[in-house]
Every structure is written in structure tokens, then in C-alpha cells.
Amino acid sequence: MAATRLLSSRPSLQSPKLSRPTRPIDFLPRSSGLKFSKKIVSHGIRCDITSFEFDKPRNWTDPLHVIGNSSPSSHSSSSVPMAAAAARDPPARGVKKVCLFYCAETKALAERVAAESDAIELRGINWRTFDDGFPNLFIPNAQGIRGQHVAFLASFSSPGVIFEQLSVVYALPKLFISSFTLVLPFFPTGTSERMEDEGDVATAFTLARILSNIPISRGGPTSLVTFDIHALQERFYFGDNILPCFESGIPLLKNRLQELPDSDNIAIAFPDDGAWKRFHKQLHHFPMIVCAKVREGDKRIVRIKEGDPAGRHVVIVDDLVQSGGTLVECQRVLAAHGATKISAYVTHGIFPNKSWKRFEHDNGGNPENGLTYFWITDSCPKTVKAVKNKPPFEVLSLAGSIAGALQI
């Protein structure tokens, strides 16, 4: 195409002598088709641009935003030019492209996270072992993530799987990536956060120290995304080489409660003062009931400290459940004081030794014997698999929250 004749005249920088003619627009690509004439005028340059023509479209995509081959197994394809890959999939303005790795346990959750945003690309890892049982790990197409924002979705469900995942977590930041985010939905040692007797080991502090020593990437310290950590003071266990981002699953519960037919008749119950301190500000618009454990002889009994459950659909809220004994006792005392329905929510359904089996489903009219709903999130993948399609359990997915956190 031809454009209107343009005239550009600019004096050159003052110098005592010009040893050779200056080429004023050498920065332009020669293949651009730009036609011009030039002449030197004393100590200045006059450039007459007569027209500019582009016979072929030019691609000015920034190669730093390249996303590599999406196939986890095709690491041999790293010879594809990175700029060409970027041209095929240019990033949207203001959206951070993220390569999301995952372990075997979190595969289903990772797929849900990727479905939340086109900016998230799943990447696999070859989780293999040597004959002696120690990890033999491989990150396919490692060169393809250079300059990219990278995240890893972890599940530290048992000590046996922590080491292999830490090996990957320590390796990824060293692959010349732009930033690294570790998503650990459940911080498993959170309940062991303090010493009550000389000799106790606060393993929450130990794990925090391990994560605080993840190598720094090009973008700086690692970001750690975790949900409803058991004790808020555990944020001070982490060192300066990691940036903890504490999220909550409570917004998922609030959205679900709004969908219930009796949403205007719901009260929130906390099994102890600790749960109230943690969650009451997020649930302040609901009537509240606070329970407490009191000693009667050798027994600890749950009693209502404040609030009235009579005639209400009461939802017991806590950060996690293990054996479920406290929840069962809380359910019974609420039913005895007139609650018409009782449900429960915990962010982390741990349920060791299949303790989820003790929670029965109330089809209506028997709140002392069963729960109408028991909501958990998918922070503990093994539990999600175990309780699938088993009332009263219902899973609220953290996928949307994780996808949002990866854009921070």
C-alpha cells in the first residue's frame, strides 16, 4: 500500500566532524519494503520518505512469551523456533501464560484448573523409580519452558511422596524460567505447629524451612499458594526466599449456601473458639453459634457456648477434619438444641483410616443421626476419590481459586 508523502527533518547531534555519511534509518529491517531517499545537509540529516510498502505481513511477537510444545512426552520437539511457537499462540494482553506441572495425585485437579483459563497449559513429568525404589524423574522438553511462568500443583499426602515432588520443585526454578509458583492446597503438617512439652518436634516449622530453601528463579522468590493453613501464625515459619499466599475455601461455601432452598434460614456453628477466630469475619452475615469443649471428670464434652440453633439449618465450619469425633459431638449437641438440619464444611477432608464412613446421610428429620450435606474441597485428592458419589459428601473444587492465584 502507498501512503501520503511524509517529510522528516531532524538535526543531528552536534559533533566537530562527520567522518562518513550517516545512515539515518538503518534500524529498519531491509525486508520491510520501505522506500526512501536521503541526503546529508551540513551537520543534519534530511530524509525524504516517499512511501512504505509491506509485501508480506511481519510478525513482531515478543519471544519471551513463548509457550513450548504442549505434549509432555515430545521433548525432542524443542528444536521448533520459540518465536514461531509464540506466533501460533500469542498471549492476550494482561494475561500471564503459565505452564502448570502436577503430580499423579493432582492430575484431575490440574485438568480442572487448566479448564478455567486458556492461559494455563498443562505439562507432565515422567514419574519413574529405580529398582531400589528411589525416584527416577524426567521433565520433558525442559528447554521449552525457558522464560516462562511455571507452577507446580503438589499433594504432600504422605511422607513417601514428598521427596520425589520436592526434587522436581527444586529443579524447576533452575531451568531459566521467569517465575515459579508452588501450589500446595493442603499444608499437611499444619496441626503440629508448636511444642507443648519438651521434646516435641514442630514439623510444620520443619516443612516450612524446607520450602523456604527452594532455589530462586529469574523472577525472584518462589510463591507458595496454600488454602486455610491450620494456624495463621505459621506464616512466620517461612523464610525470605519464599512468598506465602494464603487463600481460603470459605468463598466456595458461601456461594454454595446461596444456592440452597433454605438459604435464608442458615446459621453457622464453630466447634471451638479457634474456628470462630479464623472464620467468623468471612461469615459475619450469618447467625453464629460457638461451641466449646468442657471437662466433666475424665471426659471432654462439647457444649454450646453462645447462639441458638433452634429451627435452623446449622452448618458446622472448620478448617480440617481427621477422625471426625469433634464434629460428631457438635452435631449431637446442635440437634439436641433444636436444629432442624445439620451440615458440615471443612476445607481439608483428611479422614485417615477411612474415618469418613462414620458420617451418615440425613434424608430429612434425623439431624442427630446424619448430615444433610458434608462439603469438602479437592485439596486432598485421595479423599475426593474415596467419597465420590457417596452422600452426604459434596466436593467444592478449588480449581477456579487456583487459576486466579496463578495470575497474581
Long-range interactions of 72-80: CB distance < 8 A, separation 24+: 72/122, 72/123, 72/124, 72/125, 72/126, 72/140, 72/141, 73/124, 73/140, 74/140, 74/141, 75/140, 75/141, 75/142, 75/144, 77/141, 77/144, 78/141, 78/143, 78/144
> Any bridge partners for residue 184, and if so which?
none
Q: Are 249 and 227 in contact (CB under 8 A)?
A: yes
Hey, how many other C-beta atoms are within 10 angstroms of the C-beta on 90? 13
Q: Per DSSP, which regions of 238-312 are E strands? A: 242-247, 266-270, 288-296, 299-306
CATH code, 250-377: 3.40.50.2020
For residue 271, the one-letter residue type is P
Residues β-bridged to residue 247: 227
Note the pLDDT of residue 14: 45
Region of residue 42 (left: phi > 0; alpha: psi -120 to 50; beta: else)? left
Q: 119 φ, ψ to 5°?
A: -85, -5
Reading the chain (408 residues) residue by residue, the pLDDT tens digits are: 444 444 444 444 444 444 444 444 444 444 444 444 444 444 444 545 444 444 444 343 333 332 233 333 333 333 333 333 333 355 567 799 999 999 999 999 999 999 999 999 999 999 999 999 999 999 999 999 999 999 999 999 999 999 999 999 999 999 999 999 999 999 998 888 777 788 889 899 999 999 999 999 999 999 999 999 988 788 889 999 999 999 999 999 999 999 999 999 999 999 999 999 999 999 999 999 999 988 777 777 899 999 999 999 999 999 999 999 999 999 999 999 999 999 999 999 999 999 999 999 998 889 999 999 999 999 999 999 999 999 999 999 999 999 999 999
Question: What is the distance between the alpha carbons of residues 61 and 373, in angstroms, rounded to a whole number?
Answer: 51
Residue 299 has a pLDDT of 77
Q: What type of residue is 301?
A: I
The CATH 3.40.50.2020 portion of the chain extends over 63-247, 250-377
Rounded Cα–Cα distance for residues 400 and 92 (Å)? 19
Q: Which three cell numbers stand for residue 135?
A: 525416584
* Overall fold of domain 63-247: Rossmann fold (3.40.50)
Region of 361 (left: φ > 0; alpha: ψ -120 to 50; beta: rest) is beta
Quick count: other Cβ atoms within 10 Å of Cβ 77? 14
Give, for 77, the enclosing helix (H) or strand (E): none
- For residues 214 and 173, the answer to whether their CB atoms sit within 8 Å is yes
Nine-digit cell at 29?
529491517
Amino acid occupying residue 63: P
pLDDT at 231: 84
